[in-house]
Chains A and B, each alone.
Chain A
């Protein structure tokens, strides 16, 4: 395009303004892509769980325990296949006075045999499984955690517990490194550590109780009935329960995911709108400063439509450049996020498919739309301006 050098010369001439405008759009698109990818991952994570699994928790709050005796009672309900405890250890490296949370990974106490049968997504060899079940201090870890700490089978490590500080430190032997198959079981957490509930319960002298109970049922269509039957069974006890599907539990657990999504979207849109206003203002200033040039071009025979198109193309170029850089930065950040301390551990609960084509396309589309929106009013002003009026103000 023969007019492109003219546009590029202008952008290069005002390089500070050009750079700052592009950086504003980069920030906007980076934020959009990153937030959107996290939201997609959370949303996906909420819907991939097996609907044959229910979670039983204390009816008042997750902060209170479920009596361990409920496990056997729940097993008697028709349609229930398996029941396992699921307890948080909140184990950490370091001392009680100086915990190192930067090295945290999720660690849970479960009824190992039942739990592994209920969760085929944690793939172990027969030998690993056997060794794990036979070793009281045994644990299995996910491939990401094993890689992060360069662990291999037979390695021993210690964790202290924030929940049971008086009982630590807990010593564990790695008996298995489970594999994940995201094609077969999408979204499987690859950084988890699982160990025997019995080991925890012994360490706290039989007072571990249960944070939650995971219940496997035979027919997912009966999930509602069975959940109701469980809650009815304990409704008149001093510890009533609240039973829901694993999906619903996860949604509630991640801080009311619906509201979180809305919050993130609102913040994202507010940032985008603010940057749009700033970009539009910058474009207006740029065009206002070029009234003389617009008058000259029109005098030389450039039609109003062509002048308008040149300004819009300039704005579009800024938008596209900022969008492309923003997407690149977003892609790099999204890939790196699971390795960040703290936030990475939280995010590893969800699949990390990277920047999707849809989010990338939406990002570049939004960047170009921002460019067009920012350039539209100045371009329209240039279109409407009369040569004689502009020449008079030169």
Chain B
């Protein structure tokens, strides 16, 4: 019998409390995150900026439950992710997290619909229900007409839309996006960011996004900077600097 893990002192949908992440390479210790605190309210849109190697992706991975902190707590959707076992973490991710990669990461041998259906293979839905849901998700991202196309038959922007459809198909509580516009031209990037706005505003999805692109960050409700594993500013400062 597995114990139910209940939220403890959680603020918002995502609550990162004094998180440190240290990587060990041989005898060397590299501190990637050093005492990070961050909160994202339910329905929030949080952007994380910073130079390469600042720890952005590491923090995103901790929130998405694909990595564990060395110390500190990460609460997401009511669960202390840092306490879950590997197996339970996988199950938890499939229900609560939608992950969007920079390079889309679609599976090349599957069509758009089949790619979107992948997370649904872990549910009890029938084949017909899985296809219906996948088409619904593709409809949301405006790609119903490309349902049976393979990734090689799609443009970069379209591939990223399919990846977003895959991320939202299980109706997760939190969407995490790692440089979602990093590999796109400005027009496609703009369309993807519009889609993020719609998911956030219309479907009330909580979004955590890592980006280098100030225009992408400008779409977020909160934007914070990381440098050398430390948060160096706050939302107010970003707004004052006119980033939004």
Q: Which residues of A contact B (CB under 8 A)?
A: 2-3, 5-6, 9-10, 12-13, 292-293, 295-305, 386-388, 391, 394
B11 within 8 A of A: no
The 8 Å CB contact of B107, one of A296, A299, A301, is A296
Report the bound CA distance from A384 to B110 in whole Å.
25
**Known: A2-B127, A296-B105, A394-B105. Contact between A301 and B86, CB under 8 A?**
no
B90, A301: Cβ atoms closer than 8 Å: yes
What residue in chain A is nearest B95 (Cβ atoms)? Answer: A301
Write 29 A-B pairs (CB below 8 A) sorted by A numbering.
A2-B121, A2-B127, A5-B114, A6-B110, A6-B121, A9-B109, A9-B114, A10-B109, A12-B109, A13-B108, A13-B109, A296-B105, A298-B90, A299-B64, A299-B66, A300-B93, A300-B94, A300-B99, A300-B119, A301-B92, A301-B93, A302-B90, A302-B122, A303-B86, A387-B61, A388-B66, A388-B67, A394-B103, A394-B105
B242 within 8 A of A: no
A3, B121: Cβ atoms closer than 8 Å: yes
Measured between C-beta atoms, what is the minimum distance from B25 to chain A in Å? 12
B166 — which chain A residues lie within 8 A by C-beta?
Answer: 300
Known: A6-B118, A300-B119. 11 other contacts (CB 8 A): A9-B114, A10-B109, A12-B109, A295-B105, A299-B66, A301-B94, A302-B122, A303-B90, A387-B66, A387-B67, A388-B61
**Known: A305-B87, A387-B66. Contact between A300 and B127, CB under 8 A?**
no
A295 — which chain B residues lie within 8 A by C-beta?
Answer: 105
Measured between C-beta atoms, what is the minimum distance from A385 to chain B in Å? 12
A12 — which chain B residues lie within 8 A by C-beta?
Answer: 109
Measured between C-beta atoms, what is the minimum distance from A301 to chain B in Å? 2
A6 — which chain B residues lie within 8 A by C-beta?
Answer: 110, 118, 121
What residue in chain B is nearest A290 (Cβ atoms)? Answer: B107
A293 — which chain B residues lie within 8 A by C-beta?
Answer: 107
Report the bound CA distance from A345 to B87 in whole Å.
63
What residue in chain A is nearest B67 (Cβ atoms)? Answer: A388
B110, A9: Cβ atoms closer than 8 Å: yes
- B 89-121 binary contact with A (CB < 8 Å = 1; else 0): 011111101010101010111100010001101
B122, A301: Cβ atoms closer than 8 Å: yes
A299 — which chain B residues lie within 8 A by C-beta?
Answer: 64, 66, 93, 99
Measured between C-beta atoms, what is the minimum distance from B39 to chain A in Å? 23
Interface of A is mostly: helix
Report the bound CA distance from A295 to B95 in whole Å.
17
Measured between C-beta atoms, what is the minimum distance from A306 to chain B in Å? 8
Which of A2, A10, A297, A301 is most buried by chain B, counting CB atoms within 10 A of its CB?
Answer: A301
B105 — which chain A residues lie within 8 A by C-beta?
Answer: 292, 295-296, 394
Measured between C-beta atoms, what is the minimum distance from B116 to chain A in Å? 11
Report the bound CA distance from A304 to B86 in whole Å.
8
Which of B101, B107, B110 is most buried by chain A, counting CB atoms within 10 A of its CB?
Answer: B107
Measured between C-beta atoms, what is the minimum distance from A238 to chain B in Å? 81
B61 — which chain A residues lie within 8 A by C-beta?
Answer: 387-388
Measured between C-beta atoms, what is the minimum distance from A88 to chain B in Å? 64
A304 — which chain B residues lie within 8 A by C-beta?
Answer: 86-87, 90
Which of B91, B108, B118, B121 is most buried by chain A, counting CB atoms within 10 A of its CB?
Answer: B121
B127 — which chain A residues lie within 8 A by C-beta?
Answer: 2
A386 — which chain B residues lie within 8 A by C-beta?
Answer: 67
B91 — which chain A residues lie within 8 A by C-beta?
Answer: 301, 303
Measured between C-beta atoms, what is the minimum distance from A223 to chain B in Å? 69
What residue in chain B is nearest A298 (Cβ atoms)? Answer: B90
Measured between C-beta atoms, what is the minimum distance from A384 to chain B in Å? 11
B66, A300: Cβ atoms closer than 8 Å: no
Report the bound CA distance from A5 to B110 in whole Å.
10
Report the bound CA distance from A394 to B67 in whole Å.
17
Report the bound CA distance from A394 to B105 in whole Å.
9
B107 — which chain A residues lie within 8 A by C-beta?
Answer: 293, 296
Report the bound CA distance from A301 to B99 in whole Å.
10
B108 — which chain A residues lie within 8 A by C-beta?
Answer: 13
Report the bound CA distance from A145 to B95 in whole Å.
73
Report the bound CA distance from A301 to B91 in whole Å.
6
Measured between C-beta atoms, what is the minimum distance from A84 to chain B in Å? 72
What residue in chain B is nearest A12 (Cβ atoms)? Answer: B109
Measured between C-beta atoms, what is the minimum distance from A363 to chain B in Å? 31
What residue in chain A is nearest B61 (Cβ atoms)? Answer: A388
B119 — which chain A residues lie within 8 A by C-beta?
Answer: 300-301
Measured between C-beta atoms, what is the minimum distance from B228 to chain A in Å? 19
B118, A297: Cβ atoms closer than 8 Å: yes
Report the bound CA distance from A183 to B22 in whole Å.
78
Measured between C-beta atoms, what is the minimum distance from A287 to chain B in Å? 14
* B186-224 residues at the A interface, CB under 8 angstroms: none
Measured between C-beta atoms, what is the minimum distance from A309 to chain B in Å? 13
What residue in chain B is nearest A297 (Cβ atoms)? Answer: B118
What residue in chain B is nearest A9 (Cβ atoms)? Answer: B109
Measured between C-beta atoms, what is the minimum distance from B122 to chain A in Å? 5
Report the bound CA distance from A293 to B109 in whole Å.
10
B87 — which chain A residues lie within 8 A by C-beta?
Answer: 303-305
What residue in chain B is nearest A299 (Cβ atoms)? Answer: B99
What residue in chain A is nearest B120 (Cβ atoms)? Answer: A2
Which of A10, A296, A305 is most buried by chain B, counting CB atoms within 10 A of its CB?
Answer: A296
Report the bound CA distance from A391 to B66 in whole Å.
10
- B 44-84 binary contact with A (CB < 8 Å = 1; else 0): 00000000000000000100101100000000000000000
Nearest 8 A/B pairs, CB to CB: A301-B94, A13-B109, A303-B90, A301-B93, A387-B66, A9-B109, A300-B119, A296-B105
